[in-house]
Amino acid sequence: MIHVYCFMFFFQLLSVAGASESGIVGGRVAKPHSRPYMASLQFRGQHSCGGILIREDFVLTAAHCNQPQQKMRVVLGAHDISKKEKSQQWIEVDKYIPHPKFTGGYDYDIMLLKLKNNATLNRYVKAIGLPKKNGKIPANINCAVAGWGKTGDNKPSSKVLRETTEKIQFSFECQNIWKEYFKSDQMVCTKFDKKKGGICQGDSGGPLICNSKPQGITAFTSKDDCNNPKYPHVFTKVHFFLPWIKNVMQ
């Protein structure tokens, strides 16, 4: 039986332990502020999930990143989240809007965050445009992933934004591995190079950027080894949810 591990469960375990993890395994340090749409979602000053600014008042992330008992703060314009950089904007969340069909599992794992105050758009903070509704994501193209945090098992968290590339995989290949957990209409998956690495547990809500557009939101991977190429990384497919996103943001 395949051991599937939604990032939510990993995050809850870490919360109990008083820790917060996130990370890109391998990869490289991103050029500071080269991804001005990136958001660090934080509880009690600790990074827990990624997200993307899609309008000055909305951030898109994974539904399982929500912690109802804690107040989330969104940090925009950050490169080094261990510092109070002048470029950073700290904004509290006014409203959490998970997809109405999300029940805590793998399906419909997407959420909008309505910010209490509009972000100030500048060279450090910019919204990213959404993909077209009917835009297909061809297999075998390279896409970028980015996030803050751990760079591997038993390694310390990275305080600076890191990035790497992963390659879109055919849906039938994902289906063969993940079986009933993979829904091709609302998910996309990637293959990756063990040396280059990619997303890992806790790196939820961050984007999969293909041709400069966010095509996916980090969802789940293998429980025991996120850097095992046998198990494709899975992302919530953004363009499937465009009607819902646009309706919420009206």
Produce one character per residue of 65-78: b if its CB has 16 or more CB atoms within 10 Å, e if not.
Answer: bbbeeeebbbbbbb
Choose the weakest-confidence range: 63-77, 82-96, 126-140, 204-218. Answer: 126-140
From 33, 64, 79, 239, active-site residue: 64
Model confidence at 19: pLDDT above 60 = no
Q: List, for residues 218-248, the tens digit of each pLDDT value.
A: 998 877 677 888 899 999 999 999 999 999 9
Q: Given this model, what pLDDT does residue 140 score?
A: 93
Question: How long, in residues, is the chain?
Answer: 250
Collapsing DSSP to helix, strand or coil, 174 comes out as helix
From 33, 79, 109, 158, active-site residue: 109
Q: Given this model, what pLDDT does residue 11 score?
A: 36
Q: List, for residues 151-174, the tens digit of each pLDDT value.
A: 665 666 678 999 999 999 999 999
Model confidence at 34: pLDDT above 90 = yes
Produce one character per residue of 20-41: b if its CB has 16 or more CB atoms within 10 Å, e if not.
Answer: bbbbbbbbeebeebebbbbbbb
| CB atoms inside a 10 Å sphere around CB 8 | 22
114 forms beta bridges with: 58, 95
Q: Is 99 one of the annotated active-site residues of the chain?
A: no
**Mean pLDDT rounded to a whole number for the chain:** 86
Q: Given this model, what pLDDT does residue 31 score?
A: 96
Q: Given this model, what pLDDT does residue 2 score?
A: 38
Element at 213 (helix H, strand E): strand 213-222
Average pLDDT value for residue range 126-137: 88
The pTM of the full predicted model, rounded to 2 decimals, is 0.89
Q: Given this model, what pLDDT does residue 123 score?
A: 97
Percent of the chain with pLDDT over 70: 86
Q: Given this model, what pLDDT does residue 149 score?
A: 61
Model confidence at 199: pLDDT above 90 = no
Q: Is 222 one of the annotated active-site residues of the chain?
A: no
pLDDT category at 180 given cuts 50, 70, 90 is: very high
From 158, 171, 204, 222, active-site residue: 204
Here the tokens at position 148 are 């803050």
- Cα–Cα distance, 52 to 73 (Å, whole number): 14
Q: Given this model, what pLDDT does residue 6 score?
A: 43
- Cα–Cα distance, 178 to 2 (Å, whole number): 7
3-state DSSP percent of the chain in helix, strand and coil, to 5: 15, 35, 50
Q: Is 185 one of the annotated active-site residues of the chain?
A: no
